[in-house]
Amino acid sequence: MSGRWLKERKSDPYYRRARELGYRSRAALKLKQLDERFGFFKGARRVLDLGAAPGGWLQVASESIDEDGLVVGVDLGEIDPLGLPNVSTFVGDVTEEETRNRIFELFGERVDVILSDMAPDVSGAWELDHYRQIHLARVALVIADKLLKEDGWMVVKTFQGSEHDRFVREMHDLFEHVRIVKPRASRKKSAEIYLVAKDLKTDRRLPEEFREEEEA
């Protein structure tokens, strides 16, 4: 990390605020702002967090749901223990069926909210990184199709680029209501944007690349 980057981070008011509140990442404030606007945690008892490391979103979800609820966090890397009784984490690759099956088994029933802050390791080739990130977002839709309650909520991060509009249409194929939002805590220079969706359609369709797998 460059000295300039560290200096910018320390001067970032959202970074400082997140540290003051005890959150592991400034991204926690993005989720809080989205929930303040949409209220997706209201009455929620079961929450899935995809791409959960380092744990900022897990902290927000934990404090926002019932104490006897369950928040499950999944990431490719180990998540340091949070010491929160309603949070469970494990290492897994959500693009693999084995990981998705483990998620389903942990809950045993449909969930109220699915969060996806997943992003690939950055290669430096923007179009490749954008496509890989959208692919992860599409995998999150496959999980939502099987695990989310019919009136549940989904929050998913995407990167703006050539595939973004197509992904928005795919979200509309799955959900009755879809909103595109950039929280105040997102850096202005960042290409990230969030889609907040509610109410699965009864006649929903998965993204084309997953339809054959679903029908098999």
> Does the reported pTM lie above 0.75?
yes
- Full set of structural domains in the chain with CATH: 25-215 (3.40.50.150)
| pLDDT at residue 6 in the model | 43
Catalytic residues: 157
Instruction: Determine the longest span between alpha carbons in the chain, in angstroms.
Output: 52
pLDDT of residue 1: 45
φ and ψ of 77, to 5 deg: -110, 160
Query: What is residue 189's three-state secondary structure?
Result: coil
- The reported pLDDT for the residue numbered 115 is 98
User: Tens digit of pLDDT per residue, the chain (216 long)?
Assistant: 444 434 455 567 877 888 888 899 989 999 999 999 999 999 999 999 999 999 999 999 999 998 899 999 999 999 999 999 999 999 999 999 999 999 999 999 999 999 999 988 877 787 888 999 999 999 999 999 999 999 999 999 999 889 999 999 999 999 999 999 999 988 877 889 999 999 999 999 999 888 765 555
Query: What would the two tokens of residue 17 be?
Result: 């605020």
Q: Count Cβ atoms within 10 A of the Cβ of residue 92 and give its class: 0-12 exposed, 13-18 middle, 19 or more buried.
A: middle
Considering only CA atoms, which of 65, 52, 66 is closest in space to residue 24?
52
Q: What is the pLDDT of residue 214?
A: 55
